[in-house]
Chain A
Amino acid sequence: MTVREVALEAYRESLPVLALSAVGGLFAGVVLGGMDAELQDVAGLLVLVPALLATRGNVYGSLGARLGSALHQGLIDPTFSFDDDRINAAVAAALANGVLISGVAAVMAVALLALVGRPSAPLTTLVAIALIAGFVSGLLLTIAVVSVVFVGYRRGLNPDTLAGPVVTTTGDVVGIATLLGATRLVLALGGG
C-alpha cells in the first residue's frame, strides 16, 4: 500500500467513530458548562473531572473488551443471563474497580491540592461526590456496555469495535451528568 492509500483508509475508517465521540463530548461539555455554580461551590471538583472521565473509559472499556473476547472464545453465551458466573464476576469487578478508584481519586486530589497549596473542599465532600458519581455512572455504563456487546454480537457485529466507541461516547456524558447529580445531592445534604 502506498502512503496515500494507507492514509485514506485510516481516515475513512476513523472519521465516523471520532465524529460520534465528538458529539458525545460536546454534550458532556454542555453539562460541564452548566456546572459553573457547583464548580465554584466545591473547590477542587474540576481537578477530579479528567480522572473520573478517564476511569469510566478505562474500567468499562475494559469490561467491554473482556466480554467481547469471551464471546469470541465461546466462554460465555451470546444470551445475557444473571446466572452466568463469568459475566457476574466481570460486572462486579468492573463496578468494584470503578467505585474504588473514584474514591481513591478524590483522596489523591485533596492531597495534591494541599501539596501545591491550592484551596480544596473538605475531603469527605469530595470523596462522597466521587463515590456516588462512581457508583451511579458504573451502573449506567455497565447496562450500556453489556446491552451493546450482547445485542451487537447477536446481530453479527464485532463487539470489539463496538464497545470502544460506545464507552467513549456515553462515558463522558454519563460521567459528567452523574458528577453534577452527585454534587447537587451532597451539597443539598449539607456537605461543601
Chain B
Amino acid sequence: MAEFASQWSVSGIVRTMFPILVVLTAIELGSGLVLDTFEGTLLQYPSLLVLVPVTIGMAGNLGSILAARFSTAFHLGLLSFAATDDRLAGNAIATVALAVTLFPLVGAGAWLLQAVIGGTALPLRTVVLVALVSGSLLAVLAIVVTTVTTYAAYRFELDPDDVVIPVVTNVCDVLGVVVLFGAVRVFV
C-alpha cells in the first residue's frame, strides 16, 4: 500500500521521473548543438527552419509507433527477433512506406507555408528532396533503433513499455536533426 501511495504523491512521481528527464534532456541537447552549428544555413533559408520541428517530431513518432507495436506483439508472444519474422518485416515495410508517403508532403507543406508567409529562397524541389531523403533514411534508422532497443529490453528482462518508447522517441529525435543536417549539407 505504501508503494501504491508513493506512485500518486507529487514527490514520488517527481523522484521517479526527474532522473530519466535529465538523461533524455542531455541526449536532446546533443541534437540542439548540431542545430546550433548550422544555424547560419537555417536562418538564411527559413523553409529549412520550418522543417526542423516536423522532422524531429515525425522521426520520434515513426519510432514510437513502431516501438508500441513491437511492445504489444512482444507481450502477446508474437514477436521473434529473426529477419524472417513476418511481424517484424511487415512493420518495417509499413514504417518505410509511411515515411515515403508523408515526408514529401511535409517538405511541400513547409515550402508552401513559408512562401505564403515570408517568401522562400530555395526552390520547391530542393525542400521536397531534403524532406524525402531525410524521411527515408530516418525510417530505416527508426527500424534499427527500435529493433535493437526492444531486443535489449527483452534480453535484460525489462518491460518494453517502460523503456523502449522513451529511449526510441528521444534517440529518433536526435537522429532527425542529424539526418536533416546531413541532407542540407548534401542538397543545399
Interface residues of A (CB under 8 A from B): 1-11, 14-15, 17-19, 21-26, 28-30, 32-34, 36, 39-40, 44, 46-51, 53-55, 57-59, 62, 66, 75, 85-86, 89-90, 92-94, 96-97, 100-101, 104-105, 108-109, 112-113, 116, 118, 164, 168, 172, 176
CB distance from B180 to the nearest CB of A (A): 11
Residue contacts A-B, CB under 8 angstroms, 26 given: A6-B87, A11-B98, A15-B102, A18-B65, A21-B58, A28-B53, A30-B114, A33-B50, A34-B117, A36-B46, A39-B43, A46-B42, A47-B36, A49-B52, A50-B28, A50-B173, A50-B174, A51-B25, A53-B173, A55-B28, A58-B21, A62-B17, A86-B8, A104-B25, A108-B29, A172-B54
Does A25 lie within 8 Å of B49, measured CB to CB? no
Does B50 lie within 8 Å of A17, measured CB to CB? no
Q: Which of B104-146 contact A (CB under 8 A)?
A: 105-106, 109-110, 113-114, 117-118
Known: A3-B89, A10-B69, A105-B29. A93 touches B10 (CB 8 A): yes
Please report whether the interface of chain B is mostly helix, strand, loop or mixed according to DSSP: helix
Total A-B contacts with CB atoms under 8 angstroms apart: 221
Known: A55-B25, A90-B8. A46 touches B173 (CB 8 A): no
Measured between alpha carbons, how far is A62 from B162 in the docked complex, in Å? 11
Contacts of B113 in A (CB 8 A): 26, 29-30
Does B58 lie within 8 Å of A109, measured CB to CB? no
Asked whether any CB of chain A lies closer than 8 Å to the CB of B158, the reply is no
Interface residues of B (CB under 8 A from A): 8-10, 12-14, 17-18, 20-22, 24-26, 28-29, 31-33, 35-37, 39, 42-43, 46-47, 49-58, 60-62, 64-65, 69, 86-87, 89-91, 93-95, 97-98, 101-102, 105-106, 109-110, 113-114, 117-118, 166, 169-170, 173-174, 177
